[in-house]
Amino acid sequence: MYRQAGQVLQRGGRRAFSSSASRKSYDDTIKNLLIHKDTRVLCQGLTGKTGTFHVREALAYGTNMVGGVRISGLPIFGSVAEAVKETRPDATAIENEIGLIVCITEGIPQADEIRVRTSPTSLWSPAASRSPASLVLTAPEASIVSRSGTLTYEAVAQTTDVGLGQSLCVGIGGDPFPGTQHVDVIKVFLDDPNTEGIVIIGEIGGSMEEEAAEYLLKYNKTRKNPKPVVGFIAGRTAPPGRRMGHAGAIIAGGKGAAIDKVRALEAAGAIVTNSPAKLGSEMLKAMKAAGLV
């Protein structure tokens, strides 16, 4: 039985959202991104200062933490297998086939990313923004996907300031080989009834934004009532061949330029702003034009 409204699969102490030995595609795990306030989270490696800080922050924001270091009453376990059996988490590690991992580590090797994409697990994601349960979410709702953690926060602030809320915010990270990519998240947003508008934030390097634009062109723009899409691409003035912050933010081999990403998104019907400060106002304008506000 797959996870629906807080229910999760259980097999011999192992739990997952949509894990299966016969799973054929990474796409089968994408639904795991639809977290909610009751998603049960187990954290690993919390004995250090940084780990403790992140757990405290997650608890403060309302995340349903179920295990880790003995902090705020949470139990500590000798292994992930034991923790899985005792706490029935929805989100932590690959080996025990838990359906969703939130990982803020940058620079994960490509070989490891390939292994993730052949496992019954969704990785959300190298350098992703922390805490899946936030108290700032209100309606009407836009959903946000971004390669930049800082710009994710900015998009939340901008949409909140104009009276909009956020259904789901996904920071996919700035690595060149992220576990979850723009197009993966866009698939979730288009099928999610709580997502009324989409904010997509990208940057120079790679082709993830173009792939997401192609999907939007095919499956959103052709709808009777397309969901409004607002985008921003960072690095428009970046020189070719120079990495700009994130490992994946580099124009190489004539590919990954900001202008190509902007054109692709605009062709898919997105409104692409030249400043992140306009994300909220442009989304509000697009939602009004669509009759959603």
Query: Which residues, in sequence order, are bridge partners of residue 144?
Result: 169, 199
In a domain, 135, yes or no: no
Q: Is 41 within 8 Å of 122 (Cβ atoms)?
A: no
Boundary-marking domain end, from 97, 123, 149 = 123
Residues with active-site annotation: 246
Q: What are 137's two structure tokens?
A: 């979410």
Question: Is 147 found in the same domain as 75?
Answer: no
Question: Is 158 found in the same domain as 119?
Answer: no
**Residue in the structure block whose two tokens are 């960072």:** 234
Question: Is 145 found in the same domain as 119?
Answer: no
Question: Is 276 found in the same domain as 204?
Answer: yes
Question: Is 115 found in the same domain as 173?
Answer: no
In a domain, 133, yes or no: no
Predicted pLDDT of residue 164? 94
Angle formed at CA 169 by CA 242 and CA 87, multiple of 5 degrees: 115
pTM (predicted TM-score)? 0.72
Number of domains in the chain: 2
Where residue 275 sits, what CATH number does that domain have? Answer: 3.40.50.261
- What band does 25 get if pLDDT is binned at 50, 70 and 90? low
| pLDDT tens string 168-211 | 898 888 777 777 889 999 999 999 999 999 999 998 888 899 99
Question: Is 106 found in the same domain as 156?
Answer: no
Boundary-marking domain end, from 123, 152, 183 = 123
Q: Which residue has the higher pLDDT, 37 or 193?
A: 193
Predicted pLDDT of residue 206? 82
- The phi and psi torsions of 155 (rounded to 5 degrees) equal -65, -40
Q: Is 160 within 8 Å of 279 (Cβ atoms)?
A: no
Question: Is 154 found in the same domain as 82?
Answer: no
In a domain, 146, yes or no: yes
Question: Is 156 found in the same domain as 109?
Answer: no
Instruction: Label the pairing between strands 14-16 and 9-11.
Output: antiparallel
In a domain, 28, yes or no: yes
Question: Is 149 found in the same domain as 85?
Answer: no
Where residue 66 sits, what CATH number does that domain have? Answer: 3.40.50.720
Predicted pLDDT of residue 22? 44
Q: Name the percent of the chain lying above pLDDT 70.
A: 67
Q: Check whether 217 has a pLDDT greater than 60.
A: yes
Question: Is 170 found in the same domain as 40?
Answer: no
To the nearest 10 degrees (0 to 180), the angle between helices 149-161 and 279-289 is: 50
Question: Is 239 found in the same domain as 213?
Answer: yes
In a domain, 116, yes or no: yes
In a domain, 1, yes or no: no
Question: Is 238 found in the same domain as 162?
Answer: yes
Mean pLDDT for all residues in the chain: 76
In a domain, 3, yes or no: no
Give the domain extent around 77: 9-123
Q: Check whether 143 has a pLDDT greater than 80.
A: yes
In a domain, 221, yes or no: yes
**Distance, CA of 151 to CA of 1 (rounded, Å):** 37
- What band does 112 get if pLDDT is binned at 50, 70 and 90? confident
Boundary-marking domain end, from 123, 149, 180 = 123
